[in-house]
A and B are shown apart, each in its own frame.
Chain A
Amino acid sequence: MSRHAPLRSARWLAGAALLAAAAPALADDEEIKQLTKPESSARLGLGYLSDDDRRSGQYTGMKDQGGYLLLDLDYLKRDDATGTWTRFFGRNLGLDSRELRGEYERQGNWRGFIDFSQIPRNEPVIFNTGLNGTALRDVELDTRRDRVGLGFDKQLMPGLDFQARYVTEDKTGARLFGRGTAEFLTDPIDYRSQQLEATLGYGNEKYQLQGGYYGTAFSNKNSVLDVATGTDIALPPDSESHQLFVSGGYAFTPTTRGNFKAAYSQAKQNDAFFTAPTFPGNTQNNLNGRVDTTLLQAGVTSRPTRELSLLGNVRYEDRDDKTPRVQFLTPSTGRDGFNTPFSRTSTTAKGEAAYMLPIDVRLIGGIDYEKRKRSVLTVRQASWREENDETTLRLEARRSLSETLNGSVAVLYGDRDGSSYLPANNNAAIDLIDPVHFADRKRSKVRMSMDWTPVEALSLQFLVDVARDRYDTRQLGPDEGKASSIALDGNYALTDAWQLLGWMSFDDNRIDQATQTGANGTLVPAQTWRANLRNKGQAYGLGVRGKPTGVLDVGADLQYGKDSNDYNLNAVLPPAALLPDIDTKRTTVRLYGQYAMQKNLSVRLDVIHDRFKTNDWTWTNWVYNDGSTARNPNTSSTFLGVSVIYRMW
């Protein structure tokens, strides 16, 4: 692949000079226009999917066998005299994953836009049920998000900008739900989420400041799932939040800069209960839920010398759940019957120094500190810690200013501990598990990366990441976690017209954990059992891009991934009960070619083959109490698309 070419330009100009009469010195007007005017394009075509495929078509809008309309538009026009842009963009217009955007802008003055995006989600698992009293039938659980966004920007005066964004999204459909040990239910989804953000910002060379409002509102048309017998299921309640924020940056000197953010939020949930509380004396008709969150952050970066740079950052976040405590339930073991607000305060600090050694290697040393403090409930269902502290030390060496070889090596060591444990159910005798996010933990990590261009045509990237978590649990719970990943990327330019790209990656994640079968909660070593869980992944990608003639572009891709879940249980179980390992494989092959019939008109062919195969036993032989079943089918499908692309200048 060619490098930046001023010198080469001079070379070919030299050659061209020998042919001064034959080689035109300047491009003609039309050519200049095509090279410098914003370009528009549109695609129109037809596609065909060979088989039903809810897996690869989970989000594409193409899940069923059959034909599809391929229609896309990218219209962009600029009035050069005024800098006024008009843009219409449409993608997947013939599919359920369509998106549209219209934008009008006077650059440097104001801009407005409206956009629409549709996201289908098709549950790949297919259910067979007689829910609602029908005969057994296949049910496909799908959801869809329909999002509309509005935006407006205005430059009020040099440096002073106003920006407003509004997004409303409706999510409809159904998802898998359940009740009791094996009752098949679906969750009716009919949500609306809205977000509004308005920001006023001012900036000059010395400082930048912005402040604004961010508000959200959630509403659910269904407040309860009314089941025929037994207790109904409450569905997510309406809620809202309001935030005021201010943030900014200030250049104390040309080499020292500070930044900050302060924000105050209030979230409320006072949606009416679907029914009145039944605990005697509780007359509330809603929760009166309220959570106030305060964020304060400040940081300074400085480069006192060309070689040395320093960084300091502190952050404080207080999430104060002010929801009043009211009794809803009759107390019993493990509960006092009151609602369960959770508050937490998080304080983090970061310090870092980087020094450039004479050999163009930058050494970076850093320390991170985090303290998390939580409110304490009177009675807790799991072991609890009021406070956790974690300190992490980092050391890194980087070389990043070479034309051929760059890389880094980083090591990290973190130590987390905390306050005394408060036992689950207030009973120290049955307090065995240290929760994974509270437990004492020593984390070590090594990361190496390399970016190498041995010859101009070839570039390689190599990355290795190894991490280990050692949980210093008191008795049971997580014991040890390990994670490693290796990735190699390559890019080779065979010629100016042909390019090969490829990558491969491997990862391996493990966690060893222990619990026990004894139901009364006291530690019985003979009843302890362990799980050594492992998730291995391998993925490969290979691609070729070519331009065999001036009018033909071709390409091919092959991607393959295999994931394995190993369930190594150190437990006594009959053979029929053992959990087989799960392998999931996914292969995609894509071929495409695009032929330019004329400068502004091309015809394109796409062929994509997708294959998914798994032995996941999640639904195998599973039968709900009402006879409902489910299947997670292996899939294989081929998509064929033919389209024409028209370009306009």
Chain B
Amino acid sequence: MNTAIRNRLMAWLVFTALGIPAGAALAADPPPKAEAAANAASAPRPDMVLKGDAVCTRCHDESEPYPVLSIAKTRHGTVADTRTPTCTSCHGESKRHVENLRKEGEKDRPKPDRTFEGPLRGLGSARGVAYVPPTTAPPVAGQRSTIPVAERNAPCLTCHQGGKRVHWQGSTHETRDVACTSCHQVHVQHDRVRDRLTQSDVCFMCHKEQRAQINRMSRHPIQEGKVGCSDCHNPHGTAGVKLLVRDSVVDTCYTCHMEKRGPFIFNHQPVTDDCTICHNPHGSTVANLLKSRPPFLCQQCHEPTSHRGAIPGLLPGTGNTPGTRGLTQARTCLNCHTNIHGGNNPLNNAESRSLRR
């Protein structure tokens, strides 16, 4: 049990022992004597982590819902790096908070100049047995801040503006009031959103539809932590579409599925255009992440000449006769049109053009 928690417990016990209703004592404003004692605690004392943090750490410690001291375990607590911020770099000087300068009629101690939302209300996947380091903060209820998001993000952008965040301004997340701390935990050693295993829990706080999709029969290994949302999306903004990490949908998919790139002798136009015409990358009830089961999917584009308008059914037969299994089962259209992403067979054979060889 750390000191702060021990102190709190002891205070509670003493209140109880003295016959003072503990709940009332904890809920009410501190009596003048106690407040004097609290103010007395503001006597000079050494910094614990960051330069000038004594003014904060005299009251705030690890017992907070949003831990304070553990920032020392992070890159933001590396004081040897001259760029490392201080408490007030982010939270402001907060004179009214520090000195408890209440306005007339103000009951509570004024808040710091800049407070941040506590992220994470998500429930992680139940399936994972993969290891989550204990330095990862658990999901906690979010606090709400009434400070405009732009003001909350400003101290972060002071240092984190370039690189992969150069398109933050104007991005969907920026214009829809997503704060940096809506996703990131600054005070903990292991930020959930920066670990593939726990990242999606954070994204699913808002993207609920995708949370359901990643559990479907055909899916990427997201809940196992082998693919993260940020493998495809850059939540900080991009020059491409859908916040994708590369400049287009196809270029993003090619980072893992390069064999689909070609160009081939015989290309399939949607493949060169946008993979999401046929696939739902977040998950599907149809194999291979297809949006719809062939032949219905293929019939959304292809003329009914030859066998292409045939009605799928479960009558015996493995060919392309209407109503038979050959159109409907196994890989359906792809039973024959094997090279659906493009064929590179140079032989003078009609089957090459129809992506069968």
Task: Quote the shortest CB–CB distance from A216 to chain B (angstroms).
Answer: 6
Q: Which of A1-30 contact B (CB under 8 A)?
A: 1-20, 22-28
Q: Is the CB of B111 within 8 A of A301?
A: no
Chain A interface, number of residues (Cβ within 8 angstroms): 254
Distance of A174 from chain B, by nearest CB (Å): 14
- Do A287 and B263 have beta carbons less than 8 Å apart? yes
> Which residues in window 584-619 of A have CB below 8 A to B?
584, 586, 588-590, 602, 606, 608, 610, 614, 616-619
**B104 surroundings in chain A (CB, below 8 A):** none
A-B contact count (CB 8 A): 610
Binds B, one of A134-142, A335-343, A411-419: A335-343
The contact string, 1 if C-beta is below 8 Å from chain B, for chain A 495-522, is 0000101110101000101011111110
Contact partner of A11 (CB less than 8 A), chosen from B30, B150, B303, is: B30
Q: Are A231 and B347 in contact (CB under 8 A)?
A: yes
Partner of B302, one of A60, A195, A297, A381: A381
19 further A-B pairs in the complex, CB-CB below 8 A; given A208-B166, A622-B329: A1-B65, A10-B38, A10-B109, A14-B30, A35-B62, A41-B133, A80-B80, A119-B221, A179-B356, A181-B336, A218-B259, A236-B341, A297-B239, A382-B303, A515-B308, A577-B323, A584-B217, A620-B329, A630-B330
For residue A148, CB closer than 8 A to chain B, the reply is no
With CB as the reference atom, state the residue of chain B lying closest to A36. Answer: B72
- Interface membership of B92, Cβ < 8 A: no
- Does A36 lie within 8 Å of B70, measured CB to CB? yes
Distance (whole angstroms) from the CB of A202 to the closest CB of chain B: 8
Q: List 22 A-B contacts (CB under 8 A).
A: A15-B25, A24-B6, A35-B2, A35-B62, A84-B80, A182-B335, A239-B262, A249-B161, A259-B167, A269-B261, A323-B263, A341-B263, A344-B273, A402-B144, A406-B144, A424-B305, A435-B301, A503-B211, A505-B212, A507-B209, A533-B292, A571-B311
**Contact indicator per residue, chain A 535-552, by CB within 8 Å of chain B (1) or not (0):** 101010101010000100
- Do the beta carbons of B323 and A236 come within 8 Å of each other? no
Is A489 located at the chain interface by the 8 A CB criterion?
Answer: yes
Q: Inside 8 A of A301's CB, which chain B residues have their CB?
A: 169-170
User: Which residues of chain B are within 8 angstroms of A602 by Cβ–Cβ distance?
Assistant: 134
Q: Is B192 in contact with chain A by the CB < 8 A criterion?
A: no
Residues of B within 8 A of A459 (CB): 121, 141-142
- Interface pair A259/B299, CB less than 8 Å apart: no
Chain A positions within 8 Å of B241 at CB level: 348
B44 CB within 8 Å of chain A: no
B14: shortest Cβ distance to chain A, in Å?
5
Is the beta-carbon distance between B330 and A16 smaller than 8 angstroms?
no
Known: A6-B97, A36-B72. A234 touches B345 (CB 8 A): yes
Contacting pair A17 B215 (CB below 8 A): no
Within 8 A of B (CB), among A114-129: 117, 119, 121
B 87-108 binary contact with A (CB < 8 Å = 1; else 0)? 0000000000100100000001
Decide: B59 and A6 in contact? CB cutoff 8 A.
yes
Q: Of B175, B189, B263, which contacts A311 at CB under 8 A?
A: B175
A83 sits at the interface (CB 8 A): yes
Q: Answer whether residue A569 sits at the interface, using C-beta atoms and an 8 A cutoff.
A: yes
Given contacts A5-B65, A319-B272, contact A339 B162 (CB under 8 A): no
Please give, as numbers and ranges, the residues of chain A lying within 8 Å of B266 by CB-CB distance. 339-340
Question: Are A618 and B330 in contact, with the CB atoms below 8 A?
Answer: yes
Q: In A230-258, which residues have CB < 8 Å from any B CB? A: 231-237, 239, 241, 247-249, 257
Q: Which residues of B contact A573 (CB under 8 A)?
A: 311, 313, 323
CB 8 Å contact bits of A285-315 with B (1 = contact, 0 = none): 0010111010101011101000001010101
